[in-house]
Amino acid sequence: MVLESLGRALHGALRKLSRAPHIDERAIKELVREIQRALLQADVNVELVLGLTKRIEKRALEEKLPPGMGRKEHVIKIVYQELSEFLGKPSELALEPGKSKVLLMVGLQGSGKTTSVAKLVAHFKKRGFKVGTVCADTFRPGAYEQLSQLGQQVGVEVFGDPKAKDSIKLAKEGVKRLKDERLELIVVDSAGRHRKEEALMEEMRQIAEGIKPDEIMLVVDGTIGQQAKEQAAAFKSATEIGSILVTKLDGTAKGGGALSAVAATGAPIKFIGVGEHIEDLEPFVPERFVARLLGMGDIETLLKKIQEVAEEEKLKPADMKAILAGKLTLRDVYDQLEAMSKMGPLKKLMQMIPGMSVAVPDEQMRVGEEKLKKFKVIMQSMTPQELENPKLLHASRIRRVAKGSGTSEAEVKELLKQYDLMRKFIKTFAKGRGPKFGPWAKLMKEMKGALPDFGSGGKTS
């Protein structure tokens, strides 16, 4: 488990809070102290800890309770939000089918670059992308062998030459060749071993200049704790770091230090390494990560409720209006499934629309839990463009998505059909073609509260 001790300590602090008879200033101060202790033990920088806990304390003491939420839940929600914020903004590595993205991996010796190269290509291969790697490490003996063995395990091409001396030339050749092969993700491994750090940085700069990568990803060893900050800063000042991958978060007590230190540099953490094996890679989503750190045992129910409320907040009236105007994208659907406790707002909304359960066959309306899970996996294999504009999904893309998600084409098509149905239905009702009387009228009235000018017709396209 990742950062087990930090998770346990934070969880313990919140459990104590949830057991307190009532939440007064003392209980909040006690909670804040325990969070401080937990974070310091995870090697998080003192100043960062103080800043964070000050914010938590201030909000917990001063913020007004949202309707329908108890004081305890509210405090837990604040902790959850602030910790998520603390770990940076979520950001993903987005690929586009048919386009080449070149990713240059940099980092100090032994940070886990080569392993991460293999993990990354495996990750995206599984999602149906054409991927390959270039070994531009001409410094470390056996670098090419290491990567080509990993490449074999994953089943991807590794461009390299164990005898080459000029890493810049090699990197350029490799990238050109794999681009010609129309690979969609080309990950370039670079050397971490050098006589001097100066020379390493210089080589990195030259490779970057030679291959013009779409993104430079810095690999940082999570076991170094808050020292990661200086390291990230040094790389950032030498070249343009687009994102960060923190490795070895399995079994280190210092992971909290590394993650928070790196997040503080402003470059988004996109992945974390949690083991030596190829599949030990996770996209880093701060909120999900924090939820996992905190969420277990008896506070789980509380967290669930918090998430529900947070999701409801996320679905702002503006989004609601767009959705009701028929602008429901697959991403909206995905977000809903993500939010999915069984009563996600969209489902609630659907249930509020009278006639819905009749017009949409029962079976389709209550797609089983299993199917929803499958749909989510399918959507994870789609590109952002496809999620925004599902019309793009013609036969070959459907095939790719099915392959990438380990489902069948029929299942992908079924999802698209469901989506279409949902969209049309909502649109029809939003246009007011639904029942003009009885429960529908009542619904309109109820909605007026949430959607200030919904009654004036809303947008119709």
Rule CB under 5 A: say whether 115 interacts with Mg ion: no
Of 19, 26, 193, 304, the one binding ligand GTP (CB under 6 A) is: 193
Least gap, CB of 280 to ligand GTP (angstroms) = 6
Binders in 329-348 for ligand GTP, by CB under 6 A: none
Q: Is 39 exposed, middle or buried (0-12, 13-18, 19+ CB in 10 A)?
A: buried
Q: Contact region for ligand GTP (CB under 6 A) — 48-56, 107-115, 300-308, 398-406? A: 107-115
- Which CB, 63 or 279, lies closer to ligand GTP? 279
Rule CB under 5 A: say whether 18 interacts with Mg ion: no
Sequence-ordered list of residues with C-beta below 8 angstroms from that of 113, at least 6 positions apart, any chain? 105, 106, 107, 189, 190, 192, 219
Rule CB under 6 A: say whether 194 interacts with ligand GTP: no
* Residue 248 interacts with which of Mg ion, ligand GTP, none, CB < 5 to 8 Å by class: ligand GTP
Rule CB under 6 A: say whether 315 interacts with ligand GTP: no
CA distance 156 to 443: 55
Binders in 243-282 for ligand GTP, by CB under 6 A: 247-248, 250, 273-276, 280
CA distance 460 to 322: 9
Of 114, 226, 231, 407, the one binding ligand GTP (CB under 6 A) is: 114
Least gap, CB of 111 to Mg ion (angstroms) = 9
Least gap, CB of 267 to ligand GTP (angstroms) = 18
State the CB neighbour count (10 A cutoff) for residue 292.
Answer: 15
Q: Is 388 exposed, middle or buried (0-12, 13-18, 19+ CB in 10 A)?
A: middle
Rule CB under 6 A: say whether 112 interacts with ligand GTP: yes
Least gap, CB of 140 to Mg ion (angstroms) = 6
Least gap, CB of 189 to Mg ion (angstroms) = 6
Rule CB under 6 A: say whether 36 interacts with ligand GTP: no
- What single string gives the DSSP state of each residue in 262-324? HHTTSPPEEEEE-SSSTT-EEE--HHHHHHHHH--GGGHHHHHHHHHHHHHHHS-HHHHHHHH
Size of the site for ligand GTP (CB under 6 A): 21
- What single string gives the DSSP state of each residue in 76-126? HHHHHHHHHHHT---------TTS-EEEEEE-STTSSHHHHHHHHHHHHHH
Least gap, CB of 223 to ligand GTP (angstroms) = 9
Q: Are residues 84 and 290 in contact, defined by beta-carbon separation less than 8 angstroms?
A: yes
Residue type at 92 in one-letter notation: E
Give me the residues paired with residue 158 across strands.
133
Binders in 140-169 for ligand GTP, by CB under 6 A: 140, 143
Q: Contact region for ligand GTP (CB under 6 A) — 111-119, 194-202, 328-336, 436-444? A: 111-119
Sheet holding 281-283, edge to edge: 157-159, 131-136, 185-190, 101-106, 215-221, 243-247, 269-273, 281-283
Q: Contact region for ligand GTP (CB under 6 A) — 173-181, 242-250, 332-340, 381-389? A: 242-250
* Residue 273 interacts with which of ligand GTP, Mg ion, none, CB < 5 to 8 Å by class: ligand GTP
Rule CB under 5 A: say whether 116 interacts with Mg ion: no
- Which CB, 251 or 435, lies closer to ligand GTP? 251
Give me the residues paired with residue 157 across strands.
132
Rule CB under 5 A: say whether 133 interacts with Mg ion: no
CA distance 114 to 146: 8
Least gap, CB of 251 to Mg ion (angstroms) = 21
* Residue 112 interacts with which of Mg ion, ligand GTP, none, CB < 5 to 8 Å by class: ligand GTP
CA distance 169 to 152: 24
Rule CB under 5 A: say whether 114 interacts with Mg ion: yes
CA distance 161 to 307: 51
CA distance 14 to 63: 18
Q: Which residues bind ligand GTP (CB under 6 A)?
A: 107, 109-115, 137, 140, 143, 192-193, 247-248, 250, 273-276, 280
List contacts with Mg ion (CB under 5 A): 113-114
